[in-house]
Amino acid sequence: MTEASNPSGAQAGRHRLVIVGGGAGGLELAARLGRRLGPDAPIDLTLIDAALTHVWKPQLHELAAGTLGGPDQETDYLQQAQRHGFRFHLGRLEMMDRTARQLWLAPLVDDDGHTVAPRRAVPYDTVVLALGSVVNDFGTPGVREHAVALDTADDARRFHRRLLSLWARNELQASSAGARTPVRIAIVGGGATGVELAAELMETLSTLAGFVPHLGGSGPITAEGLPVRIHLLEAGPRLLAALPEAVAAQAQADLQRRGIDVRTGVKVTGVTAGSVQLGEDSLPADLTVWAAGIRGPEVLTQLDGLALTRSGQLVVGPTMQTPQDPRVLAIGDCAWCTPQPGGPAVPPRAQAAHQQADLLARALPGFIRGEPLPAFRYDDKGSLVSIGRRHAVGRVATPGGAGSSGFNLDGLLARWAYWGLQRQHMATLHGLPRTVLATVGGWLTARTVPPVKLH
């Protein structure tokens, strides 16, 4: 087979193991497997992703707000491939042919509309799908046309550019007419993404105001003095439904103290270019973010008949294999995995993808040799939600505990724990020494760059 007809570059006679999706689960799996296999293993390992760089999805709200910088920014897939011994293939999955064991990738087109690579097939012997999730608009009118979803790093960057454009418009209005129209932002969905984005945006806009002398003055920026209105809208009775009620109440109080308008029990019935519809009422909004629920990516419907849930996620068994094809596995948010028959599904969290990647990195070499895969058991270590750069809330599980055992955490200590989860992901990809050096370097250079991305 020639390189032209075999984009993965696999050698004849070697097992072709392909991972599709370079998110928290997919990239960690590729890095761990590459290190474990080494150059002499009879396995060709390939990672496919539609982007050239990786941003940890729990940090997309920071990228959108413009506060993600230093060592936390982006990781190059090609660098990871070179460092950990796997191949990286740039492309977007279009469909699967399970009979021929081929993945078909859409044509690769550059920013000017020129075709870089045609539609092409990537052969596989075993494939792991780690495609993540996208927001679920539940068929709400106007969401796709007028709302922003933070599904990818490109989405977050587009949001940030629109935010800066609105802020600039606000400043020009104040300079020319002496009147200021507040920047109005509506965030639909009171889960972790919505809560974290609301808090991060308020800090970002306070920082931006500090660059404007007539707003900043010599004292701290207060919510009342900011030319911005942030509305967080949740259809359920409270925020953060997956966390204990006391934690959710603490998060809501923190957001309201920052000047954020939190509304629970409100259903969004439509989105327009300048408003959010709440039944008969209309809430003005210059920028609307949709963060209400998740579903599987649309491409999962093109995977040659693999079973899906109503929310479009791939049905997999305890070993993360699809029932229709044991050579097709799925991990992370795109998978609906129920470790115990009739039990709850693994929640769509980064820690679940991390645990699944760790298990498969240890088990896949044996599976390729003909050994059965072990069943996955989810270890819920709790959940933390960032409330700005110096605060967080959440619940941490007691080591060795069972069920709901654990303790609530909030404040600076919770923020340190949240920061530790970020560094754990970095250490998996870069190794502990590089992570420590990058972190220290980021601290040392922090004062030489703006605290918020200004372009």
For residue range 117-128, list pLDDT tens digits in order. Answer: 899 999 999 999
- The structure tokens listed for 241 are 């439904």
- Any alpha helices (H) in 38-113, and if so which ranges? 60-65, 77-84
167 and 286 Cβ atoms separated by less than 8 Å: no
**260-278 exposure pattern, b = at least 16 Cβ within 10 A, e = fewer:** bebeeebebeebbeebbbb
Task: Give the C-alpha separation, 93 to 115, whole Å.
Answer: 16
293 and 135 Cβ atoms separated by less than 8 Å: yes
- Tokens 């791939």 locate to 314
Rounding to the nearest 10 degrees, give the CA dihedral for residues 44, 47, 52, 57. -150
81 and 89 Cβ atoms separated by less than 8 Å: no
- Tokens 């970095």 locate to 426
186 and 286 Cβ atoms separated by less than 8 Å: no
- Judged by DSSP in three states, 37 sits in helix
8 and 123 Cβ atoms separated by less than 8 Å: yes
Give the residue with greater pLDDT, 441 vs 423.
423
Tell me which residue of 99, 92, 83, 109 sits closest to 27, measured CA to CA: 83
- Any alpha helices (H) in 12-73, and if so which ranges? 24-37, 60-65
Whether 49 has a pLDDT exceeding 80, the answer reads: yes
The residue length of the chain stands at 455
pLDDT for 243 equals 87
**224-258 exposure pattern, b = at least 16 Cβ within 10 A, e = fewer:** eebbbbbbbbbbbebbbeebbeebbebbbebbeeb
Give the residue with greater pLDDT, 451 vs 414.
414
DSSP class of 169? H
Over the stretch 235-283, which tens digit does the pLDDT of each residue have?
A: 999 999 988 898 999 999 999 998 899 999 999 999 999 999 999 999 9
Over the stretch 193-227, which tens digit does the pLDDT of each residue have?
A: 999 999 999 888 777 766 555 444 444 444 555 67
pLDDT for 401 equals 54
